[in-house]
Chain A
Amino acid sequence: MKTNPLMPSNDRININVAFGFWLYLMSDCILFAILFATFAVMHNRTFGGPGASDLATLPFVLVETLLLLTSSFTCGIAMLAKQHQRKNLLIVWLVITFILGLVFVGMELQEFIHLIHEGNSWQRSGFLSAFFTLVGTHGLHVVIGLVWIIVMIVQVCIYGIDRDVSTRLTCFALFWHFLDIVWIFLFTFVYLLGGL
């Protein structure tokens, strides 16, 4: 085991807390798996309403996907800034991550409002119930992540990057990357393949 001279010695996290959070994410995986299974069973039960191919245009969803992917990347860069105790840089990258996430949620809400406005809410068909539950649960996670970013920016400003804040930031990064992975499967199964 060699020590790295370039590595600052004060980036410490509580490994047990991070692992506990990882276990929560694994149980969240199972929650999403159940919603995906429900969606798969329901995806043709449109009851005369719109099907998956009528929901949103693919380029619109591609933009959403790239926004969330980019925010996952900027979150990773923020963690690099954290490990090197670059407080201002960390805040800048967290703010960029927040803005990208906010635009993503905004686009998703616009899609939902458009659907509901046309009378295609979750009450319209079994398919739409499954769709709103699956995509809405993911969107709710992203909103919670956005609140979490604000809390972390405030904590970094007040406490600096100490061991506790560093641990919480690591947990947040795990959460945010996890949400992007869930979205890959949403993009694939709901939007790319849902119309089949």
Chain B
Amino acid sequence: MSHKNNEQDLGLGNFSSRLKTYVMGYIGCIILTLAAFFIARHSLNTQIALVISVVALAIIQLFVQLKCFLHVGFQSGSRWNLSTLIFTAIIIIALVGGSLWIMFSLDTMMSF
């Protein structure tokens, strides 16, 4: 029983489907990286459009890598990995968002 559990925990399929996941993830990441690179090089019309598109590409690539390379998903074995990841994401958003909020409003007030 524990034997079967372990296999499921690792999310192991057969060799070719596992290989396909890695190759697809790899090709996807290359395309996303090159897209971000060319957008940044040949700047878009507005700065805000550039920031949004490049950050969006980075976040898409984050999910591609989590899915294809780290195999984080909703299967029973990685549920704890996923919940700790979400918890970490909440902490990071509070920490980084809060710090930037405080620092930039301080910056604005200091310049008066």
Looking at chain A, what size class is its interface with the partner chain?
Answer: 35 or more
Count contacts on B: residues with CB < 8 A to the other chain: 52
Residue pair A41, B85 in contact (C-beta under 8 Å):
no
Chain A 69-88 residues near chain B, CB threshold 8 A: 69-70, 72-73, 76-77, 80, 83-84
Partner of B81, one of A22, A34, A180, A188: A22
Contacts A15-B6, A41-B99, A196-B51 given; indicate if A80 touches B81 (C-beta within 8 A): no
Mostly, the A contact residues are: helix
Interface string of A1-36 (1 = CB under 8 A from B): 101101101011101000100110010011001101
Cα A154 to Cα B87 in complex, Å, equals 36
List A contacts of B70 (CB < 8 A): 174, 177-178
Residue pair A69, B54 in contact (C-beta under 8 Å):
no
List B contacts of A76 (CB < 8 A): 22, 25-26, 69
Residue pair B62, A41 in contact (C-beta under 8 Å):
no
Residue pair A192, B9 in contact (C-beta under 8 Å):
no
List A contacts of B30 (CB < 8 A): 66, 69
Chain A 98-153 residues near chain B, CB threshold 8 A: none
Shortest distance from the beta carbon of A13 to any chain B beta carbon, whole Å:
7
Contacts A7-B12, A188-B54, A196-B47 given; indicate if A62 touches B37 (C-beta within 8 A): yes
Partner of A30, one of B14, B55, B58, B88: B88
Cα A185 to Cα B33 in complex, Å, equals 11
Residue pair B95, A37 in contact (C-beta under 8 Å):
yes
Residues of chain A having any CB pair with chain B under 8 Å: 1, 3-4, 6-7, 9, 11-13, 15, 19, 22-23, 26, 29-30, 33-34, 36-37, 40-41, 58, 62, 65-66, 69-70, 72-73, 76-77, 80, 83-84, 174, 177-178, 180-181, 184-185, 187-188, 192-193, 196
The 8 closest A-B pairs by CB, nearest first: A192-B40, A188-B58, A6-B14, A73-B26, A33-B92, A26-B88, A37-B99, A76-B22
19 A-B residue contacts at CB 8 Å? A1-B8, A4-B12, A7-B12, A11-B10, A15-B6, A15-B77, A22-B81, A30-B91, A37-B96, A62-B33, A77-B22, A80-B22, A84-B15, A180-B65, A181-B62, A181-B65, A188-B54, A188-B55, A196-B51
